[in-house]
Structure 1
């Protein structure tokens, strides 16, 4: 649903006005393109260890605004990182020059609602997210190469003795005989493992460092250190469970110190009946 105050901005996306808005349950904000910087750990107020993945938002800015009149849908194209001219294809280099933004290493599209539109050239920082909220992180898993069924699917393997000869790690039978006379599709067999796009849903944002543009997410996310990941608001967490988030993005002065999520009210070490 398009709010009346956004009618002019909706018709003229290149002349959008940046102003804070109230987030509604129907609001769909843009995500960001980040770099997986590695993992670390911290201890919360209860003294419990919290494993954290550090995500670096490197010069993430809006490259293109897509609208239903021109492209048939509403979305924002964001770019992250930097590249020299000779490292970028000439067609993509022309795309960046037409938008008036520097060359980017990676671009990604995020569908948004009209109240979350941003003009071209707007920078998104780590303050785009609020500590204590949940996000979905999408990335490419680490490739393992060609692996057997025990590593790839967790098979137990065959007996180590009692007549077993050189088949300890083999899968065994792959199907019946004459009926159906084939191996069913989807049968778990040896093959290439990893290197696929996966999404970690409802990851908890433990800390936000807007000064260094770092996002600390609890747990692990897919990919090697240095890989690109795509972060956006979680879709499975109810609106009431999420803290207040800036719409369309954070527009005020950046805080001088990192922002940490509020501590849990439940003691994790207390005895449970």
Structure 2
């Protein structure tokens, strides 16, 4: 597996060789810095820790700064990738070129927050009749028993906070990679708002 920390730019459209219009998401990938290497002898598994976005040293607490090597600027975003398939060393810069032989990506991000929502928007309930006098339009209906135990059961679909969850979209086909612009274009949509931080990695359920 190979992966990077990236940033979502937005969506656009491109044409393929056959003239078909394809919606794509543009992902900007600044070079990631290799912060540390974890070996199986010490940690029980092999992994690479990558960092992105420099922080001012005056704004970093000593416990957080202690995980970075000397003379390395602390990074805002850190991500550990297990079984990294590319040979790297601490301090190396890893860019979008590692996906040159990859066909599909998995993208992990925090979805957009939609605030407090009712059951029709949150869970897709149909609701009641919209006609006059129905007295049941957008309400959830019965949520529990009126006898023992006399309470709503766990996992009952009810109104509540919607969105802002960790979401993984799998098997997105890479449409184009532009090393000069440091951009990857993938077919379809990815979670999160514009300029949000993404974790992109080679797909685990599809071949390279």
Q: Same-fold call, TM > 0.5?
A: yes
Say which of 96, 112, 116 aligns to 1:146: 116
Equivalent in the alignment of 2:20: 48
Say which of 75, 78, 100 aligns to 1:104: 75
1: CA distance, partners of 2:101 / 2:38? 29
1: CA distance, partners of 2:27 / 2:98? 13
> Residue 174 of structure 1: CA displacement?
1.3
Equivalent in the alignment of 1:81: 53
- Contiguous gaps of at least 5 residues in structure 1: 1-28, 243-273
Contact 2:57 2:73 in 1 (8 A): no
Please list, as runs of the form range in 1=range in 2, the aligned pairs for 1:196-235 lying within 5 A after superposition: 196-235=165-204
- Contiguous gaps of at least 5 residues in structure 2: none
Length-normalised TM-score, structure 2: 0.91
Please list, as runs of the form range in 1=range in 2, the aligned pairs for 1:1-273 lying within 5 A after superposition: 29-98=1-70, 100-112=71-83, 116-130=86-100, 133-161=103-131, 163-165=133-135, 167-178=136-147, 181-237=150-206, 239=207, 242=208
> Residue 225 of structure 1: CA displacement?
0.9
Q: Rate the CA distance shift 1:102–1:220 in 2: closer, same or farther, 3 A.
A: same
Contact 1:141 1:224 in 2 (8 A): yes
Q: Displaced runs of 4+ in structure 1, greater than 6 A? A: none
**CA-atom RMSD, angstroms?**
1.9
> Residue 164 of structure 1: CA displacement?
2.6
How many pairs align? 208
Question: Which whole-Å deviations, capped at 9, do the CAs of 1:158-194 have from their partners, x for residues lacking one?
Answer: 11236333x4211111134326533221111000000
2: CA distance, partners of 1:116 / 1:130? 12
Contact 2:2 2:98 in 1 (8 A): no
Contact 1:57 1:80 in 2 (8 A): no
Q: More strand by proportion, 1 or 2? A: 2
